[in-house]
Structure 1
Amino acid sequence: MTFSNTGTALIIGGSSGMGYATAKQLLQAGVAVEIVANNQHKLDSAVSALSELGTVTGKQINLYDTQSVMTLAKQIVESSTHYRYLVNAAGYFSPTSFVDHTLADYDKYHDLNKATFLLTQAVVKNMNRFDGGNIVNIGSMWAKQAIKATPSSAYSMAKAGLHAFTQHLAMELADNNIRVNAVAPAVVQTPIYGAFIPPAEIKQALASFNDFHPIGRIGEPVDVANSILFLLSDESSWITGTIMDVDGGVMAGRN
């Protein structure tokens, strides 16, 4: 796949999981990368490991702190760096029954969407100062299909909003030479499940979902990164506004 040799990829939530896998592939393709993450230790470790592959920098920010988000947004707008690529990969997931959801649970998802909105707006203003760009959001299969074993009303509401956000931006920004797409993964082996599963038990717990996917296994971060990379690349130049199912066949039907 081919990419412009100018500009930087900004990956929100790039210190682990699908964001990290995407950062790795972009660096291998010769694209400079800047990753944003909350945990300073994980961020430092990610930057250290990725620096062997190319030019990478990191910024620590709490996406739930609106003032910090606004400060970063201002820096992005005014930066001399052209953020040609944006990947919104930050996520949180903790299945909770609808009647047990608290306001704090709800805010955990929707405040993250607010940060995504504000930072994407800043990146678009940056892209408009140059010659356009390319955005990929990480949505979710849960935004399209309810799974009884994982009650996720607030999460799915937020991710469905992200899907709609993707399509609206694709329409609005096409004249600005900015493409906007999303991927909708099913169960993927990432640290996001650590919010409700002990880390030592995640691999075994997720393996129970192998047969839920027609292909017969859960996804790996690289499976999703492969699709994100395609949507960011020149080879997908006639694609915008799509929500790509990267789900082992789950949305094709019932297994």
Structure 2
Amino acid sequence: MNTFENRKLLVVGGTSGVGLETAKLVLEQNGSVVILGNRPEKAEDARQQLAQINGEEKVMALTANLLDMDSVRGLIEILKNQHNDIDLVLNSAGVYFPNTFLETDEKAYDGYLNLNKAVFFITQAVASSMIASKKQGSIVNITAALSQLPVKSTPMAAYSMAKFGLEALTKNAAAELADYGIRVNALPIGIIETRIFERFASAEQVDSALENFKKYHALGRNGTPRDVAEVAAFLLSDKASWITGTIWNVDGGAMTRRTDA
């Protein structure tokens, strides 16, 4: 398949999970990919893994601290000077701090807002390059379905505020960029089977939590990165050429459920 031939995808948060899986799909369909991570060694590992799909020349890796605007500004200069042919963007970077509303301090709060700020200005820079080169393109933002369905075991007041902000950006950017043939959509996703929770819990606790999370999804299971990547790749592709400004839940039916757990 050559769905993404002559297309170039930037994946913000592309070294693991949904971002990495979407990069794989684009490469499998003859596109090229720039992945962005925050740790050089992890970014290089991901680049090498992706290079096995379609060759070294199709994959590039960049690093930046998305919570530091000085680092983000440096990244934007690299994108403008070296990758001004990007016409697809997947914003899949995320941070989560397991703090309740009453426990959230300014550092945690600022972490969410700083990430949104980075996504805003990175996406703005790439969209400006598309417009300057008269290239039509597609942008997909990954958000969180459970932000809309608070659960007692997973506090996410500040996190949800940030994700709703990204969905608002999706609709407004879609309206503004439509004149240039640039589409913008968002995917609120359910719980994905990854090890991200091991940042603040033991492996045993993570296994227990992931098992418990299954009941939040009407389909009875957590999602996989591939589940989301397939939808993201569709929205990035020209198959979705008449879709923009949408918020598509990819959540295993989480929004059909109610639970006090």
TM-score by length of 1: 0.95
Q: Deviation string for 1:191-241 (max 9, x for gaps)?
A: 332332234643342111112211000111111111101111111111000
Q: Which runs of 5+ in 1 are unaligned?
A: none
**Which ranges of structure 2 fall in alignment gaps of 5 or more residues?**
none
Identity %: 40
Q: Which of 235, 238, 242 is matched with 2:239 structurally?
A: 235
Picking from 215, 221, 235, the partner of 2:219 is 215
Bigger CA drift: 194-203 or 21-30?
194-203
Separation of aligned partners in 2, 1:4 and 1:25:
9
From 63, 67, 75, give the equivalent of 1:64.
67
**1:91 pairs with 90, 94, 98, which one?**
94
* SS across alignment from 1:247: coil
Check if 1:5 corresponds to 2:8.
no
How many pairs does the alignment contain?
255
Name the residue aligned to 1:111: 114
Cα pair 2:5 2:29 within 8 Å, conserved: no
Please show how residues 40-59 of structure 1 align to structure 2 within 5 Å: 40-54=40-54, 55-59=58-62
- State yes or no: 1:169 paired with 2:169: no
Partners of 1:133 and 1:62 lie apart in 2 by 25
Residue 71 of structure 1 aligns to a residue whose secondary structure is: helix
User: 1:190 deviation in Å?
Assistant: 2.2
Deviation of 1:65 after TM superposition, in Å, equals: 1.5
Answering whether residue 39 of structure 2 is matched by residue 31 of structure 1, we say no
Amino acid across the alignment from 1:22: T
**Alpha-carbon deviation of 1:147?**
1.7
Task: Give the C-alpha shift of residue 254 in structure 1.
Answer: 2.7
Distance 1:200 1:47, change over 3 A: farther
Asked whether the 8 Å contact 1:13–1:91 carries over to 2, the reply is yes
8 Å contact kept, 1:26–1:32: yes
Post-superposition CA distance 1:71-124 (Å, at most 9, x none): 211232344541110000100112211111110010111110010011011110
On the 8 A contact 2:4/2:30 being kept in 1, the answer is: no
Asked if 1:76 is matched to 2:73, the reply is no
Find the aligned partners of 1:81 and 1:6 in 2 and give their Cα distance: 13
Question: What is the TM-score normalised by the length of structure 2?
Answer: 0.93
Of residues 188, 191, 197 in structure 2, which corresponds to 1:193?
Answer: 197
Alpha-carbon distance in 2 for matches of 1:2, 1:185: 27
For the residues of structure 2 that align with 1:95 and 1:163, how far apart are their CA atoms?
21
Distance in 2 of aligned mates of 1:123 and 1:229: 18
Q: Indicate conservation of the 8 Å contact 1:77/1:125, yes or no.
A: no
Report if aligned partners of 1:181, 1:243 keep a CA contact under 8 Å in 2: yes
Q: Provide the C-alpha distance between the structure 1 equivalents of 2:31 and 2:204, rounded to a whole number of angstroms.
A: 34
